[in-house]
Amino acid sequence: MVPGIGFFYSGMSKRKNALSLLWLSLMTVAVVSFEWFFWGYSLSFSKTGSKFIGNLDNFALMGVLNGPCVGSGKVPDIVFMIFQCMFACTSPCIAIGAVCGRGRMWPALIFMFVWSTLVYNPVAYWIWSQNGWASVLGVYDFAGGIPVHTISGTAALVYSFFLGPRNAINSNHKSDNIAHIVLGTTLSWFGWFGFNGGSTLSANARAGMACTVTNLAASVAGVTWCMLDYYLLNKNERKFTTFGFCMGSMAGLVVITPASGFVGAPASILIGSLAAVCVYFGRKMKTLLKIDDPFDIFAQHAIGGLMGTLLTGIFAQKSIAALDGTSVINGGWLDRNWLQLAYQFAFCVSGFGWSLVITFLILFVMNKIFVLRVDEQIEYVGIDVEEFGEFTNDYVEFERDLSLRHTSSPPQFIQQHPPPVVNNDYSINNCSTMSEYCNNCYCCGYYCVPRYKRLVNNVFPQNPQAGLDKNNLERLRFYAVVKPEKLDKSFRYMAEKVARYLRHNNRQYVILGVKAMNDTMKSCYQQLNSFVDHYLDALRLVLEEKNDLELTEHAVLSFESFCEIREEAPNYQRNYEFFVDRFTELCHNNDEQNKTKFRCLGLRGHHALIRKTANDELQNDVWRHMDKIVPSIIYNMNVKNSRPQDDLSQSVTPDQVELVEKNDPSILAENVLRDLFCRAHLNNITACVQPILTV
């Protein structure tokens, strides 16, 4: 069951956090197994103890071997111990799903150990030990409605409260891997037969009935949830959902857990139906409480466990319990034992309240000692990358079977449902129409376009006035961070798109392309050398549009951002001669309307280049161009009234100083020349002074 829960959570999470949930489910077994060996089993099932908690008579499994266990004289104590150990592992595994995408791993491991000791062990003792107060009272909980599900669901709610809500990108998310959800449901469903049927501690008719009602409840709950989704989820487009069936089945399994050894098949059908309905609508509790419970753990396990325990008090039957040949109970309401529901309710309140209070205290103390939540950058990139450096499913280049490339005609599905066209720009081979297929393969089809190209295409909106698609831009940046080996291809493709837009005179898309490259570069500057050539090629193409002020401005601003990056291993072979020549031309621009702006852009470009080459110690590259850079600077220092007269007539406030410096060529030129001499080494002063003397 533990790996089943892990896969279930993994499928519901974003792919960048899926592995962490699988890892935590496995670590639950490791941590809790040690706790169970150390003192957990003794605290939960020692043969002597108070009505509240066991003692340490069986500390480190002392005296646990071949003697009879607590539940049956026919089962060795050591066998019963390992069977119950799996129950103890399952409960914190359910709760730990709350850390999804936002919780740190080390505090989660510590929480498992402490929570198992202070919450699970006492509650398990209450109901399953012969001395526990709930057991003495006569409460029915066959396989752990309260000890396994309710207390873990409550703990997940409290953990989510302390971690706080996920960021908007993570919280507004649909399941990334339905196959993992189906696999997790299947494993859990199969494990539940051992969970419920095995709780009879014998192969008898009661065990068979427990498995039967478990299967029936899960089946009915799954179908009921599907019906609710079909009629309520989207009334305009009614569809069945695989995810809905899995959620419903898990809800049915949870609710039938405390009742499985006490109810018959007809009752299990009603219990399964009620389970789906109550949990389905119980998910709204997190909205009312304003707590981000990522997998609806509270609704499914806490509410489900409470509901199952209460329904056991109604549908429990003497005849079902007697199927093992030894058990004698008073039954529930069906046997006219009206007081039983009150006992069940008392146990529900006690288990829920104990878990709520103790979990809150545990996390309150831990939050003072540790930092429970990861920082924003790790949450954005993903815990799998930062904590493990591994993935559940590595990022593949193609989503569809590559065998599609070798058939002679388009598949019927693609003919009936043509892939989307992105900005009338086609990904491969510049085909004129999406229906045109090259060399009998679907290289132009959306379904076979490499992932990095689809990510780049999706960044550009159909309406350029809307700006870059922020969600898709973040996906592209995330892909660039986790797949640095694809940066060369990604930037080459973005440069190709910029060139294509320039040829088609799509100025707005050119600007968006420059912005996309600039934002992506800032996210993965550590791998700058792998893509910088394509980035600079794109800027060269944009700067060649000499009479376009807007394009030039965006190119210079992007170049300034590039120059601010301090490279750990600068490329000494990189050539900036084109940029020197182009910025020099801008410094001498004589356009009647925009010469001031063009000259300022040229000076800013020179200034950025000086900072870049001086910081990276590319002295030969910058100093050999002083015969172009210095005269351009001095030319603008000597220009008088470079701003329009109406601007000069206005008084400049202190708040406008920075703006004036950026828009006045003479002031900007002075700052550039001053910075140039500050950065010049003693051996290079001559290269700076000689052009001044010549001028």
pLDDT digits over 599-644, tens only?
888 888 888 888 776 654 544 556 677 778 888 888 888 765 444 4
458 inside domain = no
% of the chain with per-residue pLDDT over 90: 40
- Tens of pLDDT, residue by residue over 189-236, are 999 999 999 999 888 999 999 999 999 999 999 999 999 988 887 667
CB atoms within 10 A of CB 120: 31
Which residues are CB-neighbours of 136 under 8 A, at least 6 positions away?
A: 51
CB atoms within 10 A of CB 568: 10
If you search the block for the tokens 């526990």, which residue do you land on? 132
Task: From 349, 366, 388, give the residue that closes a domain.
Answer: 388
667 inside domain = yes
Range of the domain at 679: 570-695
541 inside domain = no
529 inside domain = no
Q: Within the chain, what is the greatest distance between any pair of CA atoms?
A: 112
Which residues are CB-neighbours of 513 under 8 A, at least 6 positions away?
A: 460, 494, 497, 498, 501, 538
181 inside domain = yes
Q: How confident is the model at residue 39 (pLDDT cuts 50, 70, 90)?
A: very high
Q: What is the average pLDDT score of the chain?
A: 82
Task: From 352, 369, 388, give the residue that closes a domain.
Answer: 388
Phi, psi torsion values for 651, nearest 5 degrees? -75, 145
261 inside domain = yes
Say if pTM beats, i.e. exceeds, 0.75. Answer: no
Task: From 388, 419, 444, give the residue that closes a domain.
Answer: 388
Cross-strand bridge partners of residue 103:
373
482 inside domain = no
Section 113-131 average pLDDT: 95
State how far the Cα of 8 lies from the Cα of 97, in Å rounded to an integer.
10
State how far the Cα of 130 lies from the Cα of 117, in Å rounded to an integer.
19
Q: Residue 592: exposed, middle, or buried by beta-carbon count in 10 A (0-12, 13-18, 19+)?
A: exposed
269 inside domain = yes
CATH number at residue 8: 1.10.3430.10
Query: Could you give the number of structural domains in the chain?
Result: 2
